[in-house]
Amino acid sequence: MGGGIIMAKVTSPGHKLGQLIGNFFEGFFCNRLINFSEELGFYCDKKGPRPKVRGKKRKVAWTDSEGNVHDLDYVFEMNGTVDKMGEPVAFIELAWRRYTKHSRNKAG
């Protein structure tokens, strides 16, 4: 399932709740996204070991054309496997935010 959070780093109750909700949704969607990507003929990269592609790193990260690195939850890859990096066709970042009249979308 999805990656977890070290709850000791989260201090405010609101942040803890947000992290718990985020972890729930990440776990809820993980297998669904993997199955969906396979139905489309893609490999779904996610947090976790992929040593021949990322070495010891567990996070999924891609660098854009300007050299900025983006941590992502999932990437659908054409011709990718657990041992071979494919061509990215979709970047997926799950985001949850509490609705308030003046809330900002922190995902974008």
Is the distance from CB of 85 to CB of 55 less than 8 angstroms?
no
pLDDT computed for residue 27 by the predictor? 86
DSSP type of residue 74:
E
Q: Within the chain, which residues score under 50 in pLDDT?
A: 1-2, 5
> What confidence score (pLDDT) does residue 5 get?
47
- Determine the pLDDT at residue 18: 81
The pLDDT tens digits for 52-73 are: 999 999 999 989 899 999 999 9
Distance set, CA 102 to CA 17, 47, 99, 105, 107 (Å):
19, 32, 8, 10, 15
* Rounded Cα–Cα distance for residues 15 and 48 (Å): 24
pTM: 0.73
Three-state DSSP string of 61-99: EEECCCCCEEEECEEEEECCECCECCEEEEEECCCCCCC
Residue 9 has a pLDDT of 63
Q: What share of the chain is helix, strand, coil (3-state, %, to 5)?
A: 30, 25, 45
